[in-house]
Structure 1
Amino acid sequence: MSKLIRFNAFQMNTPGHQSPGLWRHPRDNSHQYTSAQHWTELARLLEYGLFDAIFLADVLGVYDVYQGNIDAALKHGIQLPLNDPLALVPLMANVTRHLGFGVTCALSYEHPYPFARRMSTLDHLTKGRVGWNIVTGYLDSAARNLGLHQQLSHDERYDLADEYLDVVYKLWEQSWDDQAVRHDKKNGVYTDPAHVHPIRHQGRFFNVPGIHLCEPSPQRTPLLFQAGTSKRGTAFAARHAECSFVSGPSKKVVKRYVDETRAAVLAAGRQAEQILIYAQALIITAETSEAAHQKYQDYLQYINIEASLTLLSGWTGVDFSQFPLDATIDYIDSDAGRSALASFSAADPDKVWTVREAAQFIGLGGRGPVLVGNPREISDQLEAWVDETGIDGFNLAFALSHETISDVVKLIVPELQRRHRYKTHYTDGTLRHQLFGRGNHLPLNHIGRQTKITAATVQTELAA
């Protein structure tokens, strides 16, 4: 039996996300991102369409690589202005029952102790529907605004990430026992001190001696997303990720990422089914093929090359204003987004991209494919991508907010359901349980469950 196809909605708390320039379209309403109603309407739409989650991207810096300043980013609305994604989660959770929330938070710039509390709070408020997209960051501008000269090197950021995860696992999984909270009014004991443990973490990057501030949330550890596809990023995903997000312009590129990720997961002692892989895509559809292609041609008019290159420069750390539009893109090893540049060069050696072609490609939907057609044609393409690459589903970008996602819900979801390739109802429970059907918590063989406060530490603490 063919596996079901899964959808997440790829969004950002900004007027310009993955389709730079499309905010100028008369039907686009992404400028309403500052309105609570904008997000609650989207949440209801996604739940009606049985999406797994809304996947909220984020950065803490600005795209200032292009021409060495932020002027182009400001002018073209390149993920700027940008609001905090976490504040959206309670709004959307309040109008839904099942929709999950994958929130991007860069661990390079926030101490794990307060971050662990923020995520536990969201997990409580959503009744276990929150996930964390683990990123290390890629913008030097973020590092500078947080008091650093520049960000750590690519691999050093992953060294920090490994320790960061060690800290939050101890806080989420080990600090409070399940029976810690008694809420015993008769005996006047709210929390039993014997069942709450300081983690006493001392490491290269962090010292966290105390306890987690929150009682155990429904999932304890939020569902873990990860989006890095560099060699180091893949190794990190193999150890930690439950869901992986990949981007690539062709099936060949995406299949390579999928195969490498699943092999790394198995080598890490986990089962292949313990990770779901979503690929980025943009769907442009209408009732007829002709209408869909007309819509596509309409959208193409709003692509702005300078805006696209501003985005690509920020992703890669390479100032593309220096190169002629007809120059070819060669692989350059940078400390920004290695996989972003590799997806246009080394990852697919059979395709030679010019700067202009890359800008036009990412100008509509980012680094994933653009699928155009009527519901039957789109569903054929989605099935081919899943069956030929091994992905489990798609992180769907949008051209126009909320038109693009509404078209998917109204036209594509029913067609996939008729083909028995899309779910027809949600499963009750936490986000982790909905996706994997195995309970609320990390599986026992996950590194987060294996990270322990040492027995000696606990004995010392109890003796005190």
Structure 2
Amino acid sequence: MTTKHILLNAFNMNCVGHINHGHWTHPRDTSDQYHTLRYWTELAQLLERGLFDGLFIADIVGVYDVYQGGVDVTLRESVQLPVNDPVPLVSAMAAVTRHLGFGLTANLTYQAPYLFARTLSTLDHLSEGRVGWNIVTGYLDSAARAMGLDEQIAHDERYDRADEYLEVLYKLWEGSWEDGAVRRDRQARVYADPSKVHKIRHAGRHYRVEGYHLSEPSPQRTPVLYQAGSSGRGQRFAARHAECVFISPPNKEVGRKIVRDLREQIAQAGRHPDDVKIFMGAAVVVAPTQAEARDKHAEYLGHAAPEAGLAHFSASTGIDYGRYGLDDPVGYGPTNAIESATRVAREHNWTRRDLLAQFSLGGRYPAIVGDPATVADALQDWVRDTGVDGFNLSRIVTPESYADFIDLVVPVLQDRGVYKTAYEAGTLRQKLFGQGDRLPARHEGAHHRPLARPA
């Protein structure tokens, strides 16, 4: 029986404060250098030294302005503001690495699919097949207003649009250029065979596209597809399209249920349950001994900003927790933000005090604190008890959090046979699944290949 290897992404964002807020004040933190190339190229090289599968780069369009009805806390603590475009980072990081994958977040609501298809094909070419796309539809009213809409599109309607958006992309990535269309025949003066390049025609409810894909086929054609959504509609979308799903359960019971429900829906969609790798968010504080780890955790707590974490969560749920006293019951009515986050908060009847306690480290992910063996035990326990495949490790102090994990925890996981000791060859999809560079035949996108379509 082959031992299942734990998968690891570093979870980051092109900004100062990402998940564990307040630590930009720590004297060893360098996150305020996020706007320099060296910050990102050195991070990529560090992660590749640790054999991380990927760097998962979050992004938002809009600002967190729900808490206390404004952006005061958001700006003071740099709660994902300012935030720069993640797309240009990939080329620079790919140039200084050979294996590290890049999961790029992009909001499909505000980008035309025809040009977006070219952007990701270009990055897949330049990285030699190491690009993934984290599919998001947005949840911030501030983004909708900034992009010219009167209000945010309704939750389920956003996913309906996303289904059609993906259909357009599949037609471009998988169907416009046949295999063998690119000949590069100098003698015959034929770079591409016109008989094997096809115009796509799409006339749907939300999108109308007629044209040829502008890029020749990249190593993966369709990038690895990531998705983060635990609502009922989000899970149905993931079951149809996603190859990697990111979840953030508050405890193992919730995590186990999310994983079970998601894998059931994947099977109902005609795919194998293991066609999707599930990552959960986690924050790790590790040191050579338990006592040193506790001391480091206490040091980090002194720089954390729980209120900034609450401002972040307010935007995630659409609820202004600043209107409530510490122990007041919160009115968990329907919102148009992240449905799964609101549902979990409502089910647990979390008060403002409860949430501030959860965000003591500045963020909402379970904190794993201890020596290397203790941390390794905890990660293996989460995998065993919930069925997740790996973790998105958030940064606390940058780059210290990742360097500590690589130097202290990775060797323990390797000694236990649950983490790779070298990268496999091939694209990001091949590394993750071991079944080739392209989407498997049972994936929705494969149905748009020329030989898969009726004549």
TM (normalized to structure 2)?
Answer: 0.97
**Residue 420 (structure 2) pairs with residue 419 (structure 1):** no
Q: What does residue 373 of structure 1 align with?
A: 370
> Pairwise CA RMSD of aligned residues?
1.6
- What per-residue deviation string (whole Å, max 9, x for no partner) do you get for residues 48-98 of structure 1? 111110000000111111122222211110101101111110111111111
Report how far residue 184 of structure 1 moved: 1.8
Report how far residue 140 of structure 1 moved: 1.1
Say which is worse superposed, 184-193 or 381-390, in terms of deviation.
184-193
Q: What does residue 249 of structure 2 align with?
A: 248
1:128 alignment partner, SS class: coil
Amino acid at match of 2:257: R
**Residue 149 (structure 2) pairs with residue 152 (structure 1):** no
Q: Is the CA contact (8 Å cut-off) linking 2:305 and 2:361 kept in structure 1?
A: no
Q: What does residue 41 of structure 1 align with?
A: 42
Structure 1 residues 357 and 116, CA gap change in structure 2 (3 angstroms): same
Q: Is the CA contact (8 Å cut-off) linking 2:324 and 2:330 kept in structure 1?
A: no
Q: Is the CA contact (8 Å cut-off) linking 2:15 and 2:82 kept in structure 1?
A: yes
Report how far residue 309 of structure 1 moved: 1.9
Structure 1 residues 453 and 439, CA gap change in structure 2 (3 angstroms): closer
Q: Is the CA contact (8 Å cut-off) linking 1:308 and 1:360 kept in structure 2?
A: no
Q: How does 1:77-116 map to 2 (within 5 A)?
A: 77-116=78-117
Report how far residue 202 of structure 1 moved: 0.3
Q: Structure 2: which 5+ residue stretches go unaligned?
A: none
Q: Is the CA contact (8 Å cut-off) linking 1:248 and 1:367 kept in structure 2?
A: no
Q: How does 1:269-418 map to 2 (within 5 A)?
A: 269-329=270-330, 331-346=332-347, 351-364=348-361, 366-418=363-415
1:34 alignment partner, SS class: coil
Structure 1 residues 365 and 268, CA gap change in structure 2 (3 angstroms): farther
Report how far residue 161 of structure 1 moved: 0.2
Q: What does residue 462 of structure 1 align with?
A: none
Q: What does residue 136 of structure 2 align with?
A: 135
Identical-pair percentage: 52
**Residue 440 (structure 2) pairs with residue 439 (structure 1):** no
2:379 alignment partner, SS class: helix
Say which is worse superposed, 250-259 or 304-313, in terms of deviation.
304-313
> Aligned partners of 1:455, 1:441: CA distance in 2, in Å?
14
Structure 1 residues 226 and 419, CA gap change in structure 2 (3 angstroms): same
**Residue 448 (structure 2) pairs with residue 451 (structure 1):** yes
Q: What does residue 170 of structure 2 align with?
A: 169
Amino acid at match of 2:48: E
> Aligned partners of 1:162, 1:452: CA distance in 2, in Å?
17
> Aligned partners of 2:349, 2:435: CA distance in 1, in Å?
44
Q: Is the CA contact (8 Å cut-off) linking 1:61 and 1:139 kept in structure 2?
A: yes
Amino acid at match of 2:426: G
Amino acid at match of 2:63: V
Report how far residue 327 of structure 1 moved: 2.8
Q: Is the CA contact (8 Å cut-off) linking 1:98 and 1:129 kept in structure 2?
A: yes
> Aligned partners of 2:166, 2:371: CA distance in 1, in Å?
44
Q: Is the CA contact (8 Å cut-off) linking 2:306 and 2:362 kept in structure 1?
A: no
Q: Is the CA contact (8 Å cut-off) linking 1:225 and 1:244 kept in structure 2?
A: yes
Q: Is the CA contact (8 Å cut-off) linking 2:259 and 2:278 kept in structure 1?
A: yes
Q: Is the CA contact (8 Å cut-off) linking 1:198 and 1:209 kept in structure 2?
A: yes
Q: Is the CA contact (8 Å cut-off) linking 1:245 and 1:277 kept in structure 2?
A: yes
> Aligned partners of 2:452, 2:18: CA distance in 1, in Å?
47
Amino acid at match of 2:75: L
Structure 1 residues 360 and 14, CA gap change in structure 2 (3 angstroms): farther
2:402 alignment partner, SS class: helix
Q: Is the CA contact (8 Å cut-off) linking 1:20 and 1:363 kept in structure 2?
A: no
Say which is worse superposed, 321-330 or 218-227, in terms of deviation.
321-330
Q: What does residue 187 of structure 1 align with?
A: 188
Structure 1 residues 217 and 428, CA gap change in structure 2 (3 angstroms): same
> Aligned partners of 2:128, 2:325: CA distance in 1, in Å?
52
Q: Is the CA contact (8 Å cut-off) linking 1:21 and 1:363 kept in structure 2?
A: no
2:361 alignment partner, SS class: coil
Structure 1 residues 449 and 298, CA gap change in structure 2 (3 angstroms): same
Structure 1 residues 406 and 416, CA gap change in structure 2 (3 angstroms): same
Report how far residue 454 of structure 1 moved: 10
2:340 alignment partner, SS class: helix
Report how far residue 386 of structure 1 moved: 0.4
Report how far residue 424 of structure 1 moved: 0.7
Report how far residue 306 of structure 1 moved: 2.7
Q: What does residue 203 of structure 2 align with?
A: 202
Report how far residue 403 of structure 1 moved: 0.5
- What per-residue deviation string (whole Å, max 9, x for no partner) do you get for residues 113-149 of structure 1? 1100000000000000000000111111111111111
> Aligned partners of 2:346, 2:287: CA distance in 1, in Å?
33
> Aligned partners of 2:209, 2:436: CA distance in 1, in Å?
29
Q: Structure 1: which 5+ residue stretches go unaligned?
A: 460-464
> Aligned partners of 1:406, 1:95: CA distance in 2, in Å?
18
1:448 alignment partner, SS class: helix
Report how far residue 453 of structure 1 moved: 7.0
> Aligned partners of 1:121, 1:313: CA distance in 2, in Å?
36
Say which is worse superposed, 355-364 or 73-82, in terms of deviation.
355-364
> Aligned partners of 2:331, 2:295: CA distance in 1, in Å?
34
Report how far residue 190 of structure 1 moved: 1.5
Structure 1 residues 125 and 448, CA gap change in structure 2 (3 angstroms): same
Structure 1 residues 426 and 330, CA gap change in structure 2 (3 angstroms): farther
Report how far residue 451 of structure 1 moved: 3.1
Report how far residue 372 of structure 1 moved: 0.3
2:214 alignment partner, SS class: coil
1:77 alignment partner, SS class: coil
Report how far residue 344 of structure 1 moved: 3.1
Q: Is the CA contact (8 Å cut-off) linking 1:344 and 1:358 kept in structure 2?
A: no
> Aligned partners of 1:35, 1:179: CA distance in 2, in Å?
40
> Aligned partners of 1:262, 1:293: CA distance in 2, in Å?
37
Q: Paired residues, what number?
A: 454
2:211 alignment partner, SS class: coil
- What per-residue deviation string (whole Å, max 9, x for no partner) do you get for residues 220-256 of structure 1? 0000001000000000000001000000111111111
